[in-house]
Each structure stands twice: as C-alpha cells, then as structure tokens.
Amino acid sequence: MDLNELKTAIEWWQGCEYLHPVTCRQNPDHPVLRPEIEGEHLILVCPTCGWRLWEFAGHIFLQTYKRRLIDQKLEAEAGDFAPSGRNSEQ
C-alpha cells in the first residue's frame, strides 16, 4: 500500500462531511486526527495532545477514497447527459 496515497485518502476521509472522522481516544473534543508518515508506517496523530493511533484498517479509507474518485470521474464524463425516456425533456 502506497503510504502517500493512503495519507491522501485519510485526509479526504477526515474532512468529508458525510463520514465520521477518526477522533482522539484521550479526548473526543480534540480536532480530528491527522495522518503522518513515520518511516515505513502511517499513523494518526492528535494535533492537540499528540496521542497516536498505530493500528487501523487503512484499506477501508483507501477503498472509500478510490470509489469516490471513480464516482467523480463518472459524473464528470456524464456531464449533462439525459437519457431519452421519462427523465428527458419533451
């Protein structure tokens, strides 16, 4: 798994309005955790107290992010396309 791609996916997740962000275990009132690359690992760090989350299901962040990129690409390619039939203007 590419750590930079995973970091981008987590940053997207943490700022997404319809997904619950990963928060600090020490204090959920702290800002959302930020992804940081340390050596060969990506960890999530609380910007307020420094609490670190070392183990998490990174593939969930990555798969959700990639699915959103695919959806955006399909939406852009579709443009204003309106199929004939019930939804098309007469």
Q: What confidence tens digit (pLDDT) does each residue in 53-80 have? A: 988 878 888 888 888 888 888 888 887 5
Torsion, Cα 69 71 72 78, to 10 degrees, reads 150
Percentage of the chain lying above the pLDDT 90 cut: 43
Amino acid 13 reads: W
Helix ranges, the chain (H) = 3-15, 58-78
